[in-house]
Amino acid sequence: MNSDFEDHCWQDIVTPDILEVYAHYKRKIAIGPRAALLAIDLYECVYAGGPKPPAELAKSHPNSCGKYAYAAIEPTQRLFAAARAASLPIFYSTGDTRAASRPNFIAATKRNRPPVNPNDYAIRPEFKPQTGDVIITKQRASVFFGTPLIAHLTQLGVQTLIVCGESTSGCVRATAVDAYSHGFQVVLVEECCFDRSLLSHKVNLFDMHHKYVDVVHIDQVLAHLDGLKVKKAS
């Protein structure tokens, strides 16, 4: 059994009895073939207010992930660089800001819905899309829901999705479950996913890792992508 299966950020919150309940999910982790990179919602509003604790930003910037968003910038830049060097297809998602195409918000909660500012949904400069990249605009949490993403992936023969972005408990989770349901192997890069709540981040990574996805560390992904680059060169 893979001894590294639980070597992740949730170790400080998941108790031995819970690990026992989930023990039968343990398996060997490997990044699958024909991969693409999917970057979920790396747009400006989740960085608003700077690298502060999200609790300090909740009133002024309620959609910001604060310091957790900023902590993920450097490893995510490395992930993009490695994906490009390995010639992986790269997909981004962001919010659809066109008023004519947006349905009414689902009022399941009393969550504040401020007016849509298109600038809030611009991809951060650190992850600027390049020629050939695909930007998917979406209206709901999952990047698959009501978008052409599945058509792009099918045409390219993609079998594995390497996923980064935010939020772990929201759009990342919704997309990961949909990807799993469509038959893709899903790899979540731990250091490149983030949330407003560290607790929610850890719990959702733990839960998805045992049910739907493989949570891996950035160094594992970089080593895999470097291997692809070597194979292509040879």
Amino acid making up residue 15: T
Pick the closest to residue 88 from 40, 163, 154, 34 (CA basis).
34
**What whole-number distance in Å separates Cα of residue 54 and Cα of residue 23?**
33
- Extract the tokens encoding 156: 């390219």
Torsions phi, psi for 187 (to 5 deg): -115, 115
Q: Would residue 171 show up in a list of annotated catalytic residues for this protein?
A: yes
Which of the following is catalytic: 45, 65, 171, 193?
171
Distance CA 188, CA 198 (A): 16
What is the chain's alpha carbon radius of gyration, rounded to the nearest angstrom? 18
Q: What is the Cβ-side half-sphere exposure of residue 24, based on CA atoms within 13 angstroms?
A: 1
Report the catalytic residues: 171
